[in-house]
Chain A
Amino acid sequence: MTTDGVADPHRPGIGARIGAAMPWLLVPLIAALGGLAMVVQAMPGPEETLAALLRTPDLWADRAAAALPAIAPSWITLTLAGLAMGMMIFLMASGLTLVFGLMDVINFGHGAFVSLGAFVAVSVLARFGGWTASTDLALNLAAIGLAALVAMAVAGTAGALFERVIVRPAGGSHLKQILVTVGGLIIAEQLIHVIWGPAEIYIDRPAALKGAIVFHGAALETYRLLAVAAGLTVFALLALVLRYTRIGLIVRAGVQDGEMVQALGYRLRGVCVAVFIAGSALAGLGGVLWALYQEVVTAQMGADLMVLVFITVIIGGLGSVTGCFLAALMIGLTQNYTAFVEPKLALVSTIAVLVLVLLWRPAGMLARQSGRMS
């Protein structure tokens, strides 16, 4: 509205503006809903059922006020856990969504890089046992940083190989792509068994990252803080590169309309390979962080995580890095709150989120509206 009270015809209405901001609002909304669910669960007193309490609205305010301080520390802890998990899922999913946007390739073998990164990190950390056993935070971080670098290098190299041998011959057929990348996943898992043995490997988090910081009565695990910091850094770097560099410009243009970029004289093929390698390396990094989070690695961990990764990229909208970031946070938070309120429904709840988002936006939250649709 302008000052003289005449509506500006070009200005979007309040509904459209809320719609545009909605993907960003959903993350805090889920955090609030999670807190609400926890409070409601904590409301009934001893020897009182939730159903009975729900029939007596007069009691609600008192009980909620009583439950709130008891539940707040758990809520803070769970929110951090959810954000940390979301950041790690984002690392694994970002490469997948970019590769799809740019190359129209859906890589079901993406999880192999997650597992590979984790196993390489285990080997590297075992070599530097002295650094991880020390209680000096700097030395611990150096060990993890080194492990992450090596893991990213190995996963990136494997990604280059995977792209050349498995993905490229499949051409543009989605059916072939899905089949051969699943085949590639089987082969990669078996090769990990060959190299590292068939058993799962347990690892210890470095000493200084084992504890927790207490904040207003809530325990904040140091490692989760580290994971959040790592995820935020990568997201910021990705956003900056995509927004402000020449290569980022070409990638964004390629996602929009690859043929046009090629017609303007850019060799998109090379950019695609580079993005595939970067995406694999990021998946490897996600694998390293996840391995240290769970403190155990298996060859199937990547394939298992792909379930959450796929849900994330669909919610976010295939091809959108920002959508992927927001969706990953939503999934991480939803998983953690549900795991607290009703553990059996953790995975089902993420599918419920997926269904709701698809009902609202059938192609995902931030999918590009034009371009190739199949």
Chain B
Amino acid sequence: MNLALDLLTIVAVSLGALFFLAGTVGLLRFPDTLTRLHALTKADNLGLGLVVLGLLPQVSAPLAALGLIAVWLLAMLSGATVGQLLAGAARPPDPDRAEMPARDAVSSHD
């Protein structure tokens, strides 16, 4: 049982680290702001999520596990919002997109 949990930790944290690496490479190599944002938010959401998932079996108290999950959720919330703001700032103002970001934002949080 313990071995299986340790294996899960190793696999999940390694995968998470891989996502962070890929996200960083994307941030450095992708051609424009929107694609770079895509790379960055992948690292935040999936990378951090996998690292948290991998660390869950290793915590000693259930409260610490809740804390880890809360960190992941808060990082996703702020990452999604900052992604929206940066994308909005990077795009040239466009008259028929005036309503669009609003709907994007709401649906991406559901």
Partners in one complex: no
